Amino acid sequence: MGCGSSKLPSAEDFLVQQSIPPESMLMPSPATTLRMNGWPISVGYTASEYNDDNWCDVEQAVAEGAAWMRAMSETGVRVVPGQPGPETLTICGMDNAQVAKLQMPPHLSFGIGAKLMDAAGNVCAVLASKANTRPSGMQKSSYQVFAGKPQFAGQAPDAHGRYLWAICTRSAMTYTCKITNGAGADLFVLKYPGRRGSSHANHKVTLTTADGKGVMLVGPSDENPKRHHIEVAAGGDPIFYICIMYACNLAFDELVAMNTHEEGPGGSDD
């Protein structure tokens, strides 16, 4: 099931220097080593619990964002009753100074997504499902990363004024995600060498370019409670990579679970 605890490679062996100009980054970051509290793992629910009568409208959860962020809810904002409510995850430097924060939706929600804000509270990006109906682990599913500025010269916004930066697609029955950029070109591959624990902070994550160059390593910190310990290649785009990681996490969280004890697609990591 890809839930083992394989050892991560060392940053020195894995990370390959990048050359992204600061003005081309999603959001400036003062460091390439960051920490971030993790999103708890949701408890799955059965297909028999998945019906319109059990859903409730929480459209107000996204009502405060910019217009291009609220467009996420156009497919219908739904949550499964009884799940934890929205949470805010804080991204910090190693000195614990806040760099950004990611506002997460209720667990098992569909059509809400997440929003990334800078330290001043300005919305810089949103994460939104690409699906029109809630997918199952036997289907592929995709989550998108939108920003309020173009990713490349000449990029046009969508009908809501958003610029597509990434589509993160989870392969059916696996934990592997392939990421394309706003122009549809292959960009990254995200894998989970380890997926154990009650929080996403316990997971181990690798992000490589499409041709296999390492750009981000994520493992549990040496604290209690654990946080993500995030190491990014010099010249990379740390906040964009974190958005990709959590877009992939959301692509798993929105799935119709196979049973009440299973989290994720129920497949392998290959």
Whether 198 is covered by a domain: the verdict is yes
Question: What does the pLDDT look like over 81-110, one tens digit per residue?
Answer: 666 678 999 999 999 999 999 999 988 888
Percent of the chain residues topping a pLDDT of 90: 59
Q: What is the pLDDT of residues 230-269, one digit of tens each?
A: 999 999 999 999 999 999 999 988 887 554 333 444 444 4
Residue 262 lies in a domain: no
**Number of folded domains that form the chain:** 1
Above 80 in pLDDT, residue 160? yes
98: containing domain:
11-253
Q: Which helix (H) or strand (E) holds 242?
A: helix 238-253
List own/partner pairs for 112-116 with CB under 8 A and 24 or more apart: 112/58, 112/61, 112/62, 112/72, 112/73, 112/77, 112/79, 113/62, 113/72, 113/143, 113/250, 114/246, 114/250, 115/62, 115/65, 115/69, 116/27, 116/239, 116/243
Say if 47 falls within a structural domain: yes
